[in-house]
Chains A and B, each alone.
Chain A
Amino acid sequence: GGGAGLCGHSLARAPRRYYEYIFGQSWPQRSPRPLGARAGPELLELQVVIESADPGCQSFPHLDSSEAYHLTVAEPVAVLKADEVWGALRGLETFSQLVHEDDYGSFLVNESEVEDFPRFAHRGILLDTSRHYLPLKSILTNLDAMAFNKFNVFHWHIVDDQSFPYQSIFFPELSDKGAYSYNHIYTPADVHLVIEYARLRGIRVIPEFDTPGHTESWGKGQKDLLTPCYSGEEPTGSFGPVNPILNTTYEFMTKFFKEISSVFPDTYIHLGGDEVNFDCWKSNPEVREFVKKQGLGTDYAKLESYYVQKILDIVSSYNKGYIVWQEVFDNKAQLKPDTVVQVWIENNYAYELSSVTAAGLTAILAAPWYLDYISYGQDWKKYYSVEPLNFPGSEKQKKLLIGGEACLWGEFVDATNLTPRLWPRASAVGERLWSSKNVTNLQDAYQRLTDHRCRML
């Protein structure tokens, strides 16, 4: 088993970090302790024990990691037991929330026994670094906030139409030409830092390289990648989605995803596949010709699937699993059984969850949790009240819903407003994804959320 220390070096920082969280901030003492007041029983130590033979300290968290823990707080030693280090991290967070200060500045913790584990294994936050670049500091601060709320997936929507901040090793022109500026990029060192910072908090980093739509910025540094749009016989000068009919496209993707697969250690890569506008493809005579030749009829969804299929095969060849937005499923691409489908369209999302899981595919839910859609007042309540399994389906189907994500799209978000916009609203989602189905009382949640918010500050 793990025994003393927390997996030696790699996760030794966690106890130190939590020590500072718990004791580092001391509010000014309000009044001196009256003479003769009883000191009471003391807690001298929190012991952390990791039980399994392979505690997972040197490795990365993954979908099947155990995050369960058992925390016993009693005099004089509290014990935190977990199968894997990931559970220990969750337990440390809980322990830090149990410790509180009295009016005299003493730290107190109640005798407690906590047996805890997450309801859903995939509990994510999506950040968008293409609509607005987010400096490293913002991303790291957000990872801290995620850890306070037991989130375990950072879905990094790293590039999109507006900008390409990811500095690629094989294709440096992509960010050279596609980023907002040289100051608005993520170097390989930056990316590595994010991955490691996340790992130390038990957070998986799943990058999203969304294609074939949402790729305008890719075209700046990669000639002939995007489809030239036409007006009649003439190219208009503007470009559409990735060009699905050229071999060069797939040569590029093969090499590009080889890099991505090695840079990002998580088993999964998010491949996007949402909101593909067919107009540009339809306008292009070569694409039209291709569609005819391939017998795809007039249904351009079939062309989209043709493209997606090939990308999925490329990524599979690198032994990666993939997550796709729901359109890929809706448009009937042939998906491997272990594909994860992310449901994001609000209209009828319960029905979509039924369809996806009925087809035997794994699903994650984002639709009711688009936190970029701000509104006045306590909108955390509506996020909290979502019951992910409220869709028609068998027990077997329900098991295929592995979790969800709170999304903070970047159209109106940058480092100046990210933190207050995302938190503590996302905490409501965090609890919904971790806690039992019956933890639904809004008044009770309100009390705990207000305390938690002050703690996070």
Chain B
Amino acid sequence: MNMNTLKTFNSNVIFPKPHILFSHTANFINPLKLPSLTPSTPTCQKLQPISASTPPPTTTRHCSSHMAAPTSDDRIARITSAIRVIPDFPKPGILFQDITTLLLDPVAFKDTIDLFVERYKDKNISVVAGVEARGFIFGPPIALAIGAKFVPMRKPNKLPGPVISEEYSLEYGTDKIEMHVGAVEAGDRALVIDDLIATGGTLCAAISLLERVGAQVVECACVIELPELKGRDRLGDKPLFVLIS
């Protein structure tokens, strides 16, 4: 059975009464250009494998406790320009930060992972917890590089076996995330990873799950922060590290 359909998102979505989260053009992300997925030439673009040699040394500038210093770091600039903004997804008024274009740039994707690994490799992190589903893309490479366990935090009913759940509020209603019983132990030092922090609801739920089993949440790390949604405040005393704000 083949339903081969070429469709855009808008064609089969019923929008509820629009709730504009931000009515102005958000300039908190300043992409240097909007990367398009459409190739400019029809020929196959072969990517070169990443060199096995170590990358050139980056500027040794002391990072602030909140963000990697953007102006001095070419890697941040490349990462920023690799992220695509999609207006009105999943509903009108929202500017969706699409990291899939970052994943199409192997150098920028590797730089993203390297920036997190450099920060965490000497911090005795024993657990990297990644929030489904985009946290599954960034978390495991970091966990592998720093020698930590990777623990998926999932939507309800996905994890088999005994789980613990934490409910959190959405704009309308609530949602839940789950973690396996026994995956994280008391005394584990944990890092929580997701692609983006908006209101901070999901990250707070993830932090709760980890703290409930006696782990210490060392930091939350995201590629992107939407500062106007004040997720950082919602995390309270838990530090947040982001690459782009």
Do they bind each other? no
Residue numbers of A with Cβ under 8 A of B are: none
Residue numbers of B with Cβ under 8 A of A are: none
